[in-house]
Amino acid sequence: MRPLEKLLVLDFSTLLPGPMASLILAEAGAEVVKIERPGRGDEMRGYVPRWGAESTNFALLNRGKQSIALDLKNKADRARLQLLLERADVLIEQFRPGVMERLGLGYAEVAAVNPRLIYCSITGYGQNGPKRDVAGHDLNYIGDTGLLALSMGPAQSPVVPPALIADIAGGAYPAVMNILLALLQRNLTGRGCYLDVAMTDNLFPFMYWALGQGTVTGRWPGNGTDLVTGGTPRYHLYPTADGRVVAAAPIEDRFWQVFCDTIGLEPALRDDTRDPAATIRRIQEIIAASPAEHWREVFARADCCCSVVADLRTALQDPHFQARGLFRHVVRNERNETMPALPVPIDPAFRAAPGEPLAAPPLGAHNAEYLR
């Protein structure tokens, strides 16, 4: 039995943060019902690339869920939700502050008929404060909190981060964490609660070192100037002769000394506190003199926290990830085509064993089942 079996989750959210959170709950056994608008449904359904009737993104994020289509602006349609609201354990919504209240589905209204409900709102800036109504996306959130400024490349050619940090690490993951904490609290008190998950709030822990450094020393980190943002030779990306990149992270002295011995760095440059820029330039010259495969073999024999950067396709085929069974779960579409499901961050013991491939739901496919 999975830990969240018999738990009913109503998911009013779209796109990424809320659907990712409810996906994790579904993989742990919860019964997740998406409430979508008729005709179009979750905007993610229309994204590209297509995979059968839906988008690939939608299929990955909504595996194993149910779907009902209702016009929440229609009073009669909202009334059809009553029985589901009365027996739900968790509600997830991702509208701007005030929208659910205007629909008559705010926490106060719903808790009046179901005081055991865990009601989770995910927004960019939270339910209060001057920015509560400001529209934004991941790039805005990491920009507003100072995270992006720590390492975004030169101002003339800035680099967009490859991961949606605010949506997933600031939104979906904290939502799941707090929902589980609220369920534990409900076991003690018998009552549910309201959760205000602000993606921007949850980005500051990623900058613990920068906050501490700036507060204590008065020297606030710049753009790529510090230990974990590329400001030292001990945590840096070095291009190879064939256009690949070595990720070098020999931070501790014991790894640093092995790294220097392995690449043959001159003794005068090994004290990287004297002139870090000079040490970086020399290491760049050394690494750039040989192709990636040479460095892969060299670092495989040396214990110094160095590796050649893999592209995503290569990473999916890595024997290590294959051996850990990361991609054994499968999602299917209406044509019975399959692809690996997302390897969500929960222990395999809490997921169903890989077996029958699960599908994302067609829009409104479960209206009859849930809205009798």
Among the candidates 316, 338, 361, a domain finishes at: 316
138, 282: one domain: no
> Which pair of structure tokens corresponds to residue 212?
């501490």
20, 108: one domain: yes
Domain holding 78, by residue range, is: 8-199+325-370
| pLDDT at residue number 356 | 86
Predicted confidence (pLDDT) at residue 217 exceeds the cutoff of 90 = yes
| Residue 92 bridge partners (DSSP) | 11, 120
> Looking at this protein, which amino acid is placed at residue 84?
L
Among the candidates 277, 293, 316, a domain finishes at: 316
Average pLDDT over residues 116-141: 98
347 is catalytic: no
Predicted confidence (pLDDT) at residue 355 exceeds the cutoff of 90 = no
In a domain, 335, yes or no: yes
| pLDDT at residue number 194 | 98
76, 13: one domain: yes
Say what the pTM is. Answer: 0.95
In a domain, 87, yes or no: yes
Q: Nearest-CA neighbor of 57 among 48, 65, 66?
A: 48
Distance (Å, whole) CA 106 – CA 58: 26
Distance (Å, whole) CA 298 – CA 29: 45
162, 242: one domain: no
Which position among 137, 196, 201, 366 bears the catalytic label?
Answer: 137
CATH number at residue 295: 3.30.1540.10
Cβ 175 vs Cβ 21: under 8 Å: yes
CATH number at residue 61: 3.40.50.10540
The share of the chain scoring above pLDDT 70, in percent, equals 100
In a domain, 213, yes or no: no
121, 241: one domain: no
Average pLDDT over residues 285-306: 97
In a domain, 210, yes or no: no
Distance (Å, whole) CA 57 – CA 47: 7
* 152 band by pLDDT with thresholds 50, 70 and 90: very high
Which position among 167, 236, 272, 329 bears the catalytic label?
Answer: 167
236 is catalytic: no
Residue 303, classed as helix, strand or coil, is coil
The share of the chain scoring above pLDDT 90, in percent, equals 99
151, 286: one domain: no
98, 163: one domain: yes
Distance (Å, whole) CA 320 – CA 289: 29
In a domain, 124, yes or no: yes
* 1 band by pLDDT with thresholds 50, 70 and 90: confident
153, 25: one domain: yes
Predicted confidence (pLDDT) at residue 372 exceeds the cutoff of 90 = no
Average pLDDT over residues 249-261: 98
Cβ 50 vs Cβ 28: under 8 Å: no
Average pLDDT, the chain: 97
208: part of which helix (H) or strand (E)? helix 208-217
Q: Nearest-CA neighbor of 132 among 204, 207, 205, 199?
A: 199
Distance (Å, whole) CA 157 – CA 257: 34
Q: Is 103 exposed, middle or buried (0-12, 13-18, 19+ CB in 10 A)?
A: middle
Distance (Å, whole) CA 282 – CA 295: 16
Predicted confidence (pLDDT) at residue 251 exceeds the cutoff of 90 = yes
Predicted confidence (pLDDT) at residue 188 exceeds the cutoff of 90 = yes
Cβ 120 vs Cβ 197: under 8 Å: yes
Least confident among 112-116, 219-223, 230-234, 351-355: 351-355
Predicted confidence (pLDDT) at residue 322 exceeds the cutoff of 90 = yes
281, 334: one domain: no
In a domain, 128, yes or no: yes
Predicted confidence (pLDDT) at residue 235 exceeds the cutoff of 90 = yes
118, 32: one domain: yes
312, 345: one domain: no
Predicted confidence (pLDDT) at residue 261 exceeds the cutoff of 90 = yes
Task: Summarize pLDDT for 194-203 with one digit per residue, the tens.
Answer: 999 999 999 9
301, 330: one domain: no
- Cα(first)–Cα(last) distance of the chain, in Å? 28
Task: Summarize pLDDT for 277-292 with one digit per residue, the tens.
Answer: 999 999 999 999 999 9
Tally of structural domains, the chain: 2
Average pLDDT over residues 248-253: 98
In a domain, 206, yes or no: no
Nearby residues of 166 by Cβ (< 8 Å), 6 or more positions away: 124, 138, 141, 142, 199, 200, 202, 203
Predicted confidence (pLDDT) at residue 327 exceeds the cutoff of 90 = yes
In a domain, 3, yes or no: no
